[in-house]
Structure formats: structure tokens, C-alpha cells
Amino acid sequence: MGTIGPVLPTTGALRPLGLDQVRLTGGFWGERQQRNAKATIPHAHHWLEQTGWLGNFHLAATDDLAPHRRRGREFSDSEVYKLAEAMAWEIARGGNAPLDELSTVVAAAQEPGGYLNTMFGRPGQAPRYSDLTWGHELYCYGHLIQAGVARLRGGVRDALTNAAVRAADHVCVEFGPSGRQALCGHPEIEMALVELYRATGTARYLDQARLFVDRRGQATLPDIELGRAYFQDDIPIRERGVFAGHAVRALYLACGAVDVAVETGDDKLLAAVVRQWEATVAARTYLTGGMGSRHEGEAFGDDYELPNDRAYIETCAAVASVMLSWRLLLATGEARFADLAERTLFNVVAASTSLDGRAFFYANPLQQRSAGEALDRSRPWPRASSSERAPWRDVSCCPTNVARTIASLGGYVATADGGGIQLHQYAGGTVTSGDTALTVATAYPWNGTVRIRVDRTADAPWSLSLRVPAWAGEAMLVTPEGAKRVGPGYAVVSRAWCAGDQVRLKLPVAPRWTDADPRIDAVRGCVAVERGPLVYCAESVDHDPAVALDAVNVDRSAPLSERPLPALGRDVVALDLPAPTTSAAGNGWPYGSSSTAEAEPGNLTLVPYHLWANRGPATMRVWLPVAPSTPDRR
């Protein structure tokens, strides 16, 4: 058994360390990983049974799946597979989950030849592959294969892995060079096939993934009202300049393209994805790292089209963005990819799940104008229906996606190369690579100090590289040789190490004002507040009911004071600042001279964005208007 992790390229600038080498033992991410195991995974399992989505496999196995008996959307099989993957990673990192039972249920529904889908192909159902545009059959295979890969990397060959391999073999026959010249409306299978190639060494899986990537953008899918850009089928990926269309589809395709490029040595394809990532980060990404600004088509908007209250920022798109950033980091070794992964993890992925691990956001806007009402937790809800997290949704791709991501998070923290070890994300735990073992102690992101102790080391010198985020500007690095200031990128300590040696990285997590590019019209004249990697927001539950968050103004020259907020967590830091409330004269017309506005003194409390909506329905905003009379003292 080799390294256990979700992304294991055979080549690249950096080699990922897996779940067997990185153990998260506490702190921000360690606690969330424990909550994921104890609450989120069992919760998702319960709802898959409650909704009948898991029962579809029981019915399929007994040939009793008439159309009127099947439950869930056409892609509901994928939620079972994502849960299976989450369970596989949880078991691989030393936990427990009822995966054997789930695997048996899934495998029993597979048909001779490897076909496996509960929506198509049985009496009374539409024929196999009769709706590749919307049917999600290949998409579902992708998640099945990724679950199988997780199990294989955990050293287990069972019913789930056998089902995944048989399905992949079926796809290679059905959609190979001599098969259907077609592809799925939802990319996903591309990266799954590459990981199966990496796990098994079977070249036809890589060949099939490359074939799917090359077919995309050839107008293979039908034109629709949203255009072929919705499926990324309008322009070949090598010619695209920026991510467009359905955000999750675009990001999943980019992940698969990077995987294909790395394994085939296609530097031009890799460069194309990097170019698209750069353009998207520069003009189509939110402060939180979220992607996807349009509810229509769950899509990227035009450059600088980044509304706050209508932001979509699907949780699955955040997961996909982290997956892509990690792949690009492994391929290039460049810190900017880890920077975006950190921003997205702390501000969207962490925001998606409630503090009890049993309710979830689908969309993650940066402003909530209406508090809404508390949700009934006994039933599923529409996917973007309220200001509260829902226990389950009619489309529940996000809970299982987050569950598999958090379970495998140890595989997104550290890497190694011929020169040493690199730490890209900071979490309390242990890191091992060969003869070297480290302990990482930190209260990050609440505190900026990260301590690394060498517990075991080889005699030969090696380098420890610590990422200094771009937001930090400058950090203090303390080594056995002394202290020095270091800038963004990687602070590298090269020496002959001894057991007991320690290094400290001190990142400045003091609160700071953040401006937006003036081309983002939605936030022109506004500022945001960040502290370390965390974006902050104002939430109505911290203020008098008479205070309307859409009427506050802030003085950016005013001090930001910190205080603990134990109601949201042991180490949580809230921020307070003076903020007058401005109200215009009510004359039945919402336009006029600003001279009609009157300001009343007040105070504003800011909380980490990822924690909002954990205390009942609330209004919220991230970007705060600057008071017109306040001079800019930057």
C-alpha cells in the first residue's frame, strides 16, 4: 500500500503527503474532521435512506425499480458514491464507518458488463445513455470510481472497488475510440479515470480521460438556452481564456485537464488551465474565494460581475476550486495556488456546514437582506431557499461533497520533494515523510503563531518550507539560527536537523481593511474586514433590531477592537467598531441628494463569515459602505 490520498500524480513539482502521513489532531480543522466523522457522515447516511436514494440500489438489485418507485433526481446515485468516498477516507485515516454494508448494496445493483445506474436501462425507464446531456450517467460513474480509488488507496479490494473498476472498463468500451463519440453534460469522470489509472497503472483509463477532455468544446452536446458554454462544450479547453458556464462543471473539467496534462506531459494543456485560473481569480472570484456569481445556470458571470446578495457561490464549486488549486500547486509548486485554497477552505467550505455538522448551505452569498424563518429540520428543502442551512435538500450534492473533502483534508496539507518537506496549510497535527517526523502546534487562524518541532530526522540536511500567505505581507520566522522577517511565498529553512529542533512562523493576523477593484460595481464605495485568512461580516443577531445592516456606514479610520465570542466557539474572535447608521428622509422615493441623509452614532460587531447563521435567521453583509464624509486616510 502506498500513500493514501485523493490526488496522487506520478510526476510534478511536489509529491503530496497522504492521510497516513498527515494527521490532524485538533484545532480548527481537526475539530471539523471529528465533527464530520461523528455527525455529518452519519447524518448524510440517514438522509440517503430517508429519501430513498439508497433504496434505489436495493430496488435495482431485485429488478423492482419501476419509474414510479425510484426516488430522487437523475444524479442521486452520485450522493451515495460521495458518501462512500467520505466513509473510505474516514476509515483510511483511522476512523469507522459502515462502508461494507453500503458497498454491498451498490455492487448488487451493477448489471452484467459493468453498467450501473438506477435511473436508466430497466423496464419502463429510458434506455442507457439516451440523455447524455442531462442524465449524469458518466458523472455518477466518476463519483463511483473516486470512491473505489479511495478504498484501493486504503489497501482494500472489496465490492466497491470491484464495481468501480468494472464500471470504468465498461466506459472505456462504450465511449472509447471505437464506441460512442459522445461525452457527459457534467464533467467529472475525467479526473476519476486519471486517479484510477494512478491507482492501478492501467493505461486505458488515462487514455479515456484524455479522449473525454479532447472531445469537450467540439459542440458534441446540443445547444441550449444557456448556450453550450454551460457545459464547456463551446470552446476546446486549450483555447479557452477564462472559466465560464456552470461553475462546478467548469472547475471539475479543469481538474481533469490538469490530471491529464500532468500524466501525459502536455505542458500546453497545463498552461491553458493556469491561464484560465489566473483570469478567473483576477476578475471572477469573490473575496471569500467563492466562484459562480449567477443563479441562472449556477454559472460564472462576466468579468467583475460579482453581486453580493445574488451571489451563488455554490459549496460544490468551492470544493472543486480547492481540488483544482491543489492540483496546480502539485504541478507547479507555486504558493499562489495554496493561497486560494486556504481562502476558499476557511471562508466557503467551512461556512457550508453548521456547527453541529447536520445542516448545510448550497449557496453562499455575501449579503442576506431578509432574515427569513427557521427551517423545519424534518424535511428536505429547495437548494437555495433561505438564509439558514438546511438539513437536506432536494439537490444535496453539497453535504456529501463537503463530507468527502473534510474526511480527506489531511491529503491537502503538506508535500515533499527531493529537498525536504513543505507545509501549505496550517493545522495542528503530525507530519511524517520517510525518516522525518514533525509535530505542528497552532491555534491558527485565531492566532498566527505556528510551531513546528522536529521529532525524528535523518542525518542528511533537508529543507523545511513554510507558506507565507500573500495577505500577510510579511511574517516573522524564528529558527535555531535566529529570527528574520520573510515575505509572501515560502520561507525555507535548510539545515542539518536534530530531534527537538523547533521553528516558529508568526503570521500577522491583526484585522485589516480590504478594498475592492473599482470595476466591481456591486461593492464600489465599500470596504471589507479580514483577519488573517478569515473574511468577516456583520450579522443582525449581534445588533439591536432597530439597526438595519443595509443602512450602516463605517469610518475606516476608526479602530477595530477584538474580543472573544464564546457563543460561536472557544477561540472565536469578534471585532467591534464605531459605525453610524444613515437614513434618508422618507419621501416615497428612494433617490435624491445625499444631503438628505442623517447619521446616527452606533457600533457594529463583525464575526467570521464562516460562522454566520448559526444563531438563527439573520441578515448579514460582508461589504460595508464607507461613510461619505469620511476622508480616505490610507
Q: What is the DSSP string of 439-480?
A: EEEE-TTTS-EEEEEEEE--SS-EEEEEEE-GGGS-EEEEET
Angle at 326 between CA 343 and CA 355, to 5 degrees: 45
Strand 620-621 with 624-625, pairing: unpaired
With contact defined as beta carbons under 8 Å apart, do 51 and 71 qualify? yes
Each residue of 145-185: pLDDT tens digit?
A: 999 999 999 999 999 999 999 999 999 999 999 999 999 99
Query: Are the C-beta atoms of 249 and 297 separated by less than 8 Å?
Result: no
d(CA 470, CA 514) in angstroms, rounded, equals 13
Quote the mean pLDDT of the chain: 94
Residues facing residue 485 across a β-bridge: 476
Which run of H or of E encompasses 189?
A: helix 189-200
Say yes or no to pLDDT of 116 above 60: yes
Distance CA 40, CA 388 (A): 17
**Catalytic annotation present for 255:** no
- pLDDT on residue 596: 52
Q: Is 278 a catalytic residue?
A: no
d(CA 207, CA 197): 9
Domain architecture of the chain: domains with CATH: 15-366+380-412 (1.50.10.10), 414-506 (2.60.40), 512-586+595-625 (no CATH)
Provide the pLDDT for residue 606: 97
CA distance 78 to 522: 36
- Which DSSP state fits 125? S
Is pLDDT at 630 greater than 60 in this prediction? Answer: no
Whole-angstrom CA distances from 449 to 214, 429, 455, 466 are 46, 14, 19, 12
What is the tens place of the pLDDT at every residue in 564-611?
999 999 999 999 998 877 765 567 888 877 655 566 777 899 999 999
Are residues 503 and 493 in contact, defined by beta-carbon separation less than 8 angstroms? yes
**CA-closest candidate to residue 88, choices 187, 35, 80, 354:** 80
Closest CA to 500 of 463, 442, 458, 456: 456
- Cell numbers at 543, concatenated: 445588533
Q: How far apart are CA 32 and CA 24, in angstroms?
A: 10
Residue 619 CA to its chain's centroid (Å): 24
Which helix or strand (DSSP H or E) is residue 539 part of?
A: strand 534-539
Residue type, 313: I
pLDDT(319) > 60: yes
Distance between CA 285 and CA 250 in Å, rounded?
A: 14
* Four-residue CA torsion sign, 193, 195, 197, 199: negative
Query: Active site residue: 184, 397, 398, 526, which one?
Result: 397
**DSSP, residue by residue, 329-345:** HHHH--HHHHHHHHHHI
Active-site option among 85, 90, 298, 388: 298
Q: Given a cut of 80, is residue 201 above it in pLDDT? A: yes
Residue 634's pLDDT band (cuts 50, 70, 90): very low
**Model pLDDT, residue 430:** 98
